[in-house]
Structure 1
């Protein structure tokens, strides 16, 4: 391009659009995104170059960036991109207006002038770029790349994009200069949806909340449209489809719109299946374009069908087809079923046959491929097509066994009873000989024993499984499920050694049959045994191996068990936020399978996490909801387990009404025999006895639990027994016993990596535990020094509850370190700290590293929280 032509382009460029140089106003009642804001603020405080928010439209990227800008204590600028910015003159004009750069005599020098202006800045600057995906021309992308690569270190960029922007950012990944917040992080969880509804004065009961979470998958615009429809009493699905038509589908090229409509008939797909449905021979290129544009295409965990659309987009596309060509829609369902069956995707295939209305073929395929369906782990598809059958009371024995096999996952008592009754009727009516009798009778036995597990009748479950395994010893998938039920009973009763042996046998048998998904139940059970015995590293390794191996990933539902297990590992290690994210994913998975009774289990584990996190109000609310759903689903075993944890919280809060209600239920359980009691129930009763001042009875209970813990190597239970004994010793003024019990609890925690020492009732013993962290006190008591390198030792410093105890830190903070800490708490970054204290940034980094080491923190926000708990900060 000649210089004259360049000059003419710049002269023809329109003036800057000042409306795009400021953020749009915040919503009247914006939803606080505290965790995401903290991530952004910490990223910027560390001086890192780029934060990138990537998601389809409607996930709150712009609002989040605006909220971040308002929290900054440094200069920031805003640029909202448009397609016009693909002309270099227009983009330069916008940036020049932002930076107040005068136009140079030679317009071709404007970019150099812009960069010189940035280089001359002394104060840090954050540039927010909205709609970054609209910059598609090479000159525009090169300008942003240059800003990221060679601009002054004082410039940081926070950008929002629909899909992956075409930028050179690999080096930022390499240098840990990039924070990427994707759809999964930006989606709302149930608590945030409830807060959004409350802010708009819309009352949602819990069932409506779960339905909204499922249908929206946390898509903020979908949630807002549903709330608006609820307030106006209109159809939320129609409003959402209309929004997607207006904002997405109508603006697409006809070729892309046709592709989306034809491929929306399946729940998940591969490029080959997309080509088969749409007739597009270049489907991979089309999908790449749609993903680049951020059009609600998401990864699917099934390696055979690795892609899916957001359900709202899928529904909108199918509505268009239904209105225009309903016969074509049915044909596409059946066409998809043919391809899926040919490629061994049986779960999705039977779903498509059901949607296509070919029920006779559906039954035939289920009859032929029932074992493949179970092995595939597609429990949600199995339940869906069984519920949609016009005549569910079928006489297919294989179909009845298949339905019974889903009970292990769904934990639905009512379905289990119906399955058992149907199997019993079919067996009674069948003329002899019964085909494969071992499979039939083992299936009936595992349904009965599963009912015993869910009802909390563990001794009966052991009798049922024992009798069946002796009578029908053949090794089948059903016998492996019987072993799993037996291991579940043993685990609930605290028989960890036997539970491990039986669970490992069940896992070995199921693995031989190449089952995917079902084995996750067993892996979770074994991980829970690992955690009870203090082997959190083993539990983490067990579960991590499953998430890293694509061939062992289940399709949808069984991922829930991995999420629960990983959350429990993280909680035991004290990583609460990471555990919360795992349980949020488990909750979303449980909600996706509408016929599942898994949700109350997830809520129970969420409550345990929040109670450990010292968020008692949230924990109480979650336990109350878990108890409500447990009653609804008749999950008596879970009800008793959750109630035991809930009454421990009630005792700490001195909630006598809740305690008396639990005692009434517990006395009924005692009449049935304590041999069926969870160890958590026995522990809860001991804490209630302590609360009531019945110290001798509580002490005897604590001793019994400690003996049981030692017999089973249940170190978690041993820790709980020591804490209970310590509390009783404190109540009765036995100082030596108090020190001995707390020392045992402390040593157990350090040796096994138990962060639980500081959780639940352990918090009330912090004053008594604090002297045991002092080297001087330990020497006076004749106790061995604590291991200085133990990773739990620094977090234990949080027990130092006032400024007078700061000398008990491994190393006290210097005066300068305290000054740095106070300024960090005010949000100052490294450069601001250096300027305020008249030192170099490298000196500031040294002070911060020393702070982190002494406080046992890994980043700024954690250091601030620890310092406040120690009252070093107000």
Structure 2
């Protein structure tokens, strides 16, 4: 039997692309996974840079490594073993036999006898689908040689069984969400290709591509083509159209032309809707086996995303959906319109009203659109599909029958969540014009209440909070009728009160609005009120209550696919995790919120998400990124006239400027602060007063700083605002230090420490409190506490470790970097985990039982405040526990 031909080009990484994007975060994630002894799988559709990333990582590896790009030919066991044998650098003479078992024996001997780590990188793992071939890799995963480290890239889930790895904590999956470009990476990729785009253009590109690297590259190529004709294009829409054409050709060549006609037809017909389940797919495709077709598409990883819920729903990537839609539109436009109408009727029967009217609009059936809106206004508000609502309002504008109170009030309902100031002003003018032209509508109070809540929302967004309270209060007195509009007025009052720091009143108004809207059956918009209530709970130190509230927001209505309201539970969870000092988890939640905000270009949510991300950057010690993000928030807020947010971001940016002695920013900010004080008097934000106090201390104006401190401390006590109380205590400690009053400063820090421990405030060391690190360490010493005569014991060390893991970092030994130190045996186990040893290998090396190893690892996880090996090793490196 002849040996399969050896193809050398399969044994080397792909060439580095010109102007390749560096992705240090992902490269570090790969390194951490290898160090933890995990099998690392990059799993995403075509064009997400998996092979490029794997090649970049291969070139950084210091020790031995082997590369194998798989092809369908390796489904023959001998073909796989020949290439694997060659990749490992084994003598060619050993491959002179056609004996598969002999080759496998040589490969195993090589791997088992390796004295130093050997990394095997497998590309295109999805092509290996023959059990006789992949059984060899399965053996390596079940019984890994001590020195072997495995990474692979795959389009779709590989056929290899991986459940046992997930169970044992030995699987690291880097999927489409991790591989997708974020906004900063999109900017870097554009800059590498000499394209300078505005921040807003970057966000649009990021949203339109959903981080698909190939899609971004096609867009940049289209931009270059347009720019080559003269000046850089001001209108980017033609560039986007051309980019979609490039992507369509790419997908056609690489995937669509290879599909069976019946599967391609299924794709085309289901692409007329934005989201579908098996039942809708069966309705549109006429296939009774729609579930089987979906399963095949998911196996191919053909840009299809599953959304879990009461029923599984699916959506295509915009580039694929556009390609399929254009294929059908060019070949059979009449059939396309029939499919839209068919989808609309089915969705209407399922009471999925927003999607139904969107489909009626695409079918150009505007009478059906208007009839559905007139009948189901509340349902449209409940579903929260803001994009679809605004798109159809734009499509029916100027159509006969569209100049109605119903449509105007529906438009107002979208503004409640989009916070679009320009649209709000336009909507007020439209309602007032309709009142003048048409006289008294069916529900005059409802219209007046709608105008009032739009005006009060404008006041809140514009920073005129006292006026917002006045407008909403006067409208509630003048129009006492209870309906959704009056509930929104209560919510607007709650928003203004919360911004002013009047937490108790804000909570009462928000709970009233929430109860009323829930009574009316509104379950989507109420997530926004739940977010506000959760923020109040966080400020008052009720972190667990806020966390449970935000978790409950995951339970979305069955018809809420692509709902704008999903953003609020990600944002809320991110804020709760940030407060608890669980920064990596907070980053993940805030990133999810950012992705959702990018998906809804009609809303102003992105700027608010950026504001909280900036706080996270500062908490992580990344002050440069925090400063850049707050500067971007202020630019966006000024552009969209969101002046409450502009002032909040400015206050935080000023606090950071104090830390960095940024005099230029402080002078500009002080000018803005005095302008606000002249216009709003005492009705400034607590964030502004606190920042002003820190600035006054920085300028040596201690008297002013003490006066503001006293007012903030009193307000914090009255409102049970324990987060503000913590900030005031840290300011107080700094002011005492300036006096040289060491005992008083330590006393203030002791109060801050006890408060932070009692209520779970990780902010103790995240911002200015970091300056007090040495004093806080000193406070934990028994002799210091005895000297100060502190009657209350120090908080439990487990509690301190959970909140402030680096509190003791930098003391005498590495082990003391933890508040709860590791034992010698736990350090031994940790070191062996870092070398990639399995639990059984650690047990054998230390002559202890497997259950004892697991006990040590559980203790490690508790002391490091982590839940898996990857996080434990990352934390250990941060704390310099590995030497």
What is the TM-score of this pair, normalised by structure 2? 0.90
Name 1:88's counterpart in structure 2.
77
Name 1:4's counterpart in structure 2.
none
CA contact (8 A) 2:730 2:748 kept: yes
Deviation at 1:603, TM superposition (A): 1.5
**CA distance in structure 1 between the aligned counterparts of 2:22 and 2:848, rounded to whole angstroms:** 33
Partner SS, residue 676 of structure 1: coil
- Which deviates the most, 142-151 or 445-454? 142-151
- Which deviates the most, 788-797 or 217-226? 788-797
Which of 23, 34, 38 does residue 24 from structure 2 map onto?
34
Name 1:204's counterpart in structure 2.
197
**CA distance in structure 2 between the aligned counterparts of 1:505 and 1:552, rounded to whole angstroms:** 26
* 1:453-475 Cα distance to aligned partner (Å, 9 max, x none): 11122222222222222333333
Change (3 A) 1:854 1:334: closer
Deviation at 1:491, TM superposition (A): 0.7
**CA distance in structure 2 between the aligned counterparts of 1:808 and 1:80, rounded to whole angstroms:** 43
Which of 595, 598, 602 does residue 591 from structure 1 map onto?
598
Name 2:236's counterpart in structure 1.
none
2:879 maps to 1:866: yes
* 1:287-343 Cα distance to aligned partner (Å, 9 max, x none): 110110010001246757811100011111122223333333333322322222222
2:157 maps to 1:164: yes
Deviation at 1:685, TM superposition (A): 1.2
Which of 212, 223, 239 does residue 219 from structure 1 map onto?
212
CA RMSD in angstroms comes to 3.1
Change (3 A) 1:428 1:758: same
**CA distance in structure 1 between the aligned counterparts of 2:16 and 2:271, rounded to whole angstroms:** 34
Which of 57, 80, 96 does residue 46 from structure 2 map onto?
57
Deviation at 1:510, TM superposition (A): 1.7
Change (3 A) 1:110 1:474: farther
Name 1:6's counterpart in structure 2.
none
2:633 maps to 1:626: yes
Deviation at 1:809, TM superposition (A): 6.5
1:74-223 correspondence runs (5 A):
74-99=63-88, 100=90, 102-103=94-95, 107=99, 109-110=101-102, 113=105, 116-117=108-109, 120-123=112-115, 124-152=117-145, 154-223=147-216
Name 2:758's counterpart in structure 1.
751
CA contact (8 A) 1:118 1:151 kept: no
- Which deviates the most, 312-321 or 96-105? 96-105
- Which deviates the most, 630-639 or 209-218? 630-639
2:535 maps to 1:518: no
Change (3 A) 1:405 1:675: farther
CA contact (8 A) 1:852 1:863 kept: no
* 1:591-642 Cα distance to aligned partner (Å, 9 max, x none): 2222212221112111121122221211111111111111111111111111
**CA distance in structure 2 between the aligned counterparts of 1:148 and 1:90, rounded to whole angstroms:** 20
**CA distance in structure 2 between the aligned counterparts of 1:332 and 1:67, rounded to whole angstroms:** 45
Deviation at 1:136, TM superposition (A): 2.2
- Which deviates the most, 858-867 or 105-114? 105-114
CA contact (8 A) 1:774 1:808 kept: no
Instruction: Give unmatched runs, 5+ long, in structure 1.
Output: 1-10
- Which deviates the most, 81-90 or 283-292? 81-90
Which of 654, 668, 672 does residue 647 from structure 1 map onto?
654
Change (3 A) 1:638 1:426: same
1:382-401 correspondence runs (5 A):
382-391=389-398, 394-401=402-409
Instruction: Give unmatched runs, 5+ long, in structure 2.
Output: 227-238
Which of 697, 705, 719 does residue 726 from structure 2 map onto?
719
Which of 426, 433, 441 does residue 434 from structure 2 map onto?
426
1:552-563 correspondence runs (5 A):
555-563=562-570
Name 1:457's counterpart in structure 2.
464
Name 2:36's counterpart in structure 1.
46
Name 1:786's counterpart in structure 2.
794
CA contact (8 A) 2:119 2:149 kept: yes
Deviation at 1:97, TM superposition (A): 3.0
CA contact (8 A) 1:531 1:569 kept: yes
Deviation at 1:238, TM superposition (A): 1.7
2:447 maps to 1:440: yes
1:520-559 correspondence runs (5 A):
520-548=527-555, 551=558, 555-559=562-566
Name 1:764's counterpart in structure 2.
771
Change (3 A) 1:853 1:282: closer
**CA distance in structure 1 between the aligned counterparts of 2:87 and 2:818, rounded to whole angstroms:** 49
CA contact (8 A) 1:304 1:345 kept: no
Deviation at 1:424, TM superposition (A): 2.0
Name 2:247's counterpart in structure 1.
240
Change (3 A) 1:301 1:500: farther
* 1:649-708 Cα distance to aligned partner (Å, 9 max, x none): 122222222112111121121112334311111111111111111101101111110111
**CA distance in structure 2 between the aligned counterparts of 1:712 and 1:134, rounded to whole angstroms:** 62
Partner SS, residue 158 of structure 2: coil
* 1:731-780 Cα distance to aligned partner (Å, 9 max, x none): 12122221111111111111111111112211222233331122232222
Deviation at 1:135, TM superposition (A): 1.9
Partner SS, residue 554 of structure 2: helix
Deviation at 1:112, TM superposition (A): 5.4
CA contact (8 A) 1:516 1:553 kept: no
- Which deviates the most, 856-865 or 773-782? 856-865
* 1:250-291 Cα distance to aligned partner (Å, 9 max, x none): 222222222222221211111222222223332211111011
**CA distance in structure 1 between the aligned counterparts of 2:559 and 2:774, rounded to whole angstroms:** 47
Partner SS, residue 370 of structure 2: helix
Name 1:497's counterpart in structure 2.
504
What is the TM-score of this pair, normalised by structure 1? 0.91
CA contact (8 A) 1:77 1:127 kept: yes
Partner SS, residue 547 of structure 1: coil
Change (3 A) 1:364 1:241: same
Deviation at 1:55, TM superposition (A): 1.0
Q: How many residues of Structure 1 are paired with residues of Structure 2 in the alignment?
A: 853
**CA distance in structure 2 between the aligned counterparts of 1:404 and 1:790, rounded to whole angstroms:** 50
Change (3 A) 1:809 1:409: closer
Which of 342, 345, 355 does residue 338 from structure 1 map onto?
345
- Which deviates the most, 485-494 or 787-796? 787-796
Change (3 A) 1:22 1:73: same
**CA distance in structure 2 between the aligned counterparts of 1:594 and 1:817, rounded to whole angstroms:** 50
2:13 maps to 1:23: yes
Name 1:352's counterpart in structure 2.
359
CA contact (8 A) 1:118 1:155 kept: no
* 1:520-543 Cα distance to aligned partner (Å, 9 max, x none): 101110110111011222111111
Deviation at 1:795, TM superposition (A): 5.8
* 1:348-376 Cα distance to aligned partner (Å, 9 max, x none): 12212222222233222222222221122
**CA distance in structure 2 between the aligned counterparts of 1:202 and 1:523, rounded to whole angstroms:** 42
- Which deviates the most, 505-514 or 285-294? 505-514
CA contact (8 A) 1:510 1:519 kept: yes
Partner SS, residue 677 of structure 1: coil
